[in-house]
Homo-oligomer: A and B are copies of this chain.
C-alpha cells in the first residue's frame, strides 16, 4: 500500500468510529459526491461523511488533519467548475444534514443558518415575515456552498452577491479550530475581513458550517416584463443605458435567440425567437411605474418590441423559473451532449463589444452555445453543448472559451463573474490576477500548511 492509502485507511477507521453509518464508502455515494453538473470530469472521494454539527465537522477535520487526508466540503453538488471533484482522493464532508435555520431577526433584517440550508428552503421559511433572501443562482444551492463560491444570480444587479450579503460565518479551519467571523452589525472596521476572505474561497481555506445573512424586505410592488429586440446589440445597449442612467432595476437578464428557442421548448413558452431581455422592477407602486417607463423608453429607441408584463405572482414565477432552467433548456437542445457552462464579467461599457465578439466566434465555429447573462452586472454565460466522445468538439470549445476569457480580461473584466475557479479556471486566474496569486498562495499555505483543504482548486500550491 502507498503511504497515501495507509493514511486514508487510518482516517476512515477513525471516522467510522466517530460517525458509524454516517460515513459512506459505497461507490454510488462516492461518485455522486465527486461530480458536479457540468462537463468537468468527476473524481470520487474515498468516503463521504454526513456531518450533523459544527463540532462534528471539526472532529472530522481533526481526524483528516492527523492523517493529512484531503477534505472536500459538499453542499448540493451544483457548482460548475469541478469544485467538488476529489482530485487527490480524501473525505467529502456532506453538509446537507446541517439544514437548520438557527435564527431570523426580522427587526434587523438578518438571519443565521446552517451551511446545508438551501436558498429556496430559507425563502420558504421566511414566507410570512415579509422578508426574503435575494441571491439566486440557477440551482437551489446550499447557502454554505453559495458562500464558499461567492455565488450571485439574477438579483445581484440590485442586491449584490454573497460578498455583500454575508455578514459573518462559522468556519472550521484546517487544524479543526472553530472560528466565528464578522457579526451582526451592518458595518464594522474591527480587524481583517475574514468573512470576505472565506466568501469565495471554495473550501480551500476552511469548511463553512454556519452563515449570517442579510435579508431584504419584500418590495411593496414587483413587476416583471419581457421585451424582444431586433438585434443582440439593441438589447445589450438597452442594458448599458439602463445601468448608466442609474435606474435601480432588480433584474435585467439577456437571452440570445438560441437560448430563447431552448427556453420556449423546455419551459413551454411562446416568446419570439429573438434576443430578449427579462426585467424585474422592485419598489413602491410609483417607483416601479417610474422605473419601467424609463426602461421602456430606452428599449423603444433601440429596437425593442412591446413589453409583455407579468405582475401576478404565478406568471412571474413561471418566467423566472424558465430563466433559472436555462442551463437545462440549453442541454435539451442537443440530447446526449454534455453542457460546459462558463461565464465572464466585464465593465458595462465593454459589454456590447465583448458579447458581440463572442457571438461572432460562436457563429464562426460550429459549436452550439446559447448565451444568457446577468447583463446588468456585465456578466454573461455560455453553455457549450459538446459530445465528450469527440475530442475535436472539446478542443473547439476550449478555443472558444480561451478567446472569450482572454478578451474579458483584456477589457478589464474577470475570468468568472460567479461560477468560480474550481479546477477549470486556475490558469485564467493566474492570467487575470498575476502577482496577486502569489499572495493568495501565501495565505493558503499559512492557513492550510498541509494542503488538505479541497486541494487542487483555485490555486496550485
Contacts and interface: CB of A to CB of B under 8 A. Distances in A.
Given A435-B180, A443-B446, A185 B417 contact: yes
Contacts of A345: 185-188
B348 A186 contact: yes
A317 interface: no
A407 interface: no
Interface in A406-438: 412-421, 425, 428-429, 432-438
Contacts of A440: 191-192, 194
B435 A179 contact: yes
A49 interface: no
Interface stretch (A107-115, A307-315, A355-363, A386-394): A107-115
A416 B447 contact: no
A432 B185 CA distance: 12
Given A163-B193, A434-B180, A443-B447, A108 B347 contact: yes
A430 to B, nearest CB: 9
B412 A244 contact: no
Given A184-B413, A347-B108, A421 B190 contact: yes
B347 A194 contact: no
A109 B193 CA distance: 25
Interface stretch (A87-95, A197-205, A270-278, A320-328): A197-205
A149 interface: yes
Contacts of A378: 185-186
B107 A188 contact: no
Contacts of A446: 442-443, 445-446
Interface string A108-152: 111000000000000000000000000000000000000001111
A96 B424 CA distance: 43
A173 interface: yes
A250 to B, nearest CB: 13
Contacts of A415: 190
Interface residues of A, number: 87
A377 interface: yes
What is the count of identical protomers in the complex? 2
Contact of A421 (B179, B180, B189): B189
B105 A349 contact: yes
Contacts of A196: 163, 193, 196-197
A190 B108 contact: no
A335 interface: no
Given A181-B433, A183-B432, A108 B414 contact: no
A191 B377 contact: no
A336 interface: no
Interface string A361-377: 00000000000000001
Most buried by B among A156, A179, A199: A179
A458 to B, nearest CB: 6
A211 to B, nearest CB: 15
A200 B195 CA distance: 13
Nearest to A217: B246
B347 A414 contact: no
Contact of A152 (B187, B217, B421): B187
A186 B154 CA distance: 14
A190 B152 contact: no
B183 A414 contact: yes
Nearest to A414: B188
Interface of A: 105, 107-110, 149-152, 156, 160-161, 163-164, 173, 177-181, 183-194, 196-197, 199-201, 205, 216-217, 219, 240, 244-246, 284, 286-287, 290, 345-349, 377-379, 412-421, 425, 428-429, 432-440, 442-447, 458-459
Given A161-B187, A179-B439, A188-B417, 10 more contacts: A105-B347, A177-B435, A181-B433, A187-B345, A189-B421, A190-B416, A191-B437, A219-B246, A287-B290, A443-B447
9 pairs of A and B residues whose beta carbons are closest in the complex: A446-B446, A196-B196, A188-B414, A107-B349, A184-B412, A217-B246, A185-B345, A150-B189, A108-B347
12 contacts: A107-B348, A150-B193, A160-B164, A183-B412, A184-B347, A185-B346, A186-B345, A189-B417, A192-B201, A194-B436, A217-B245, A284-B290
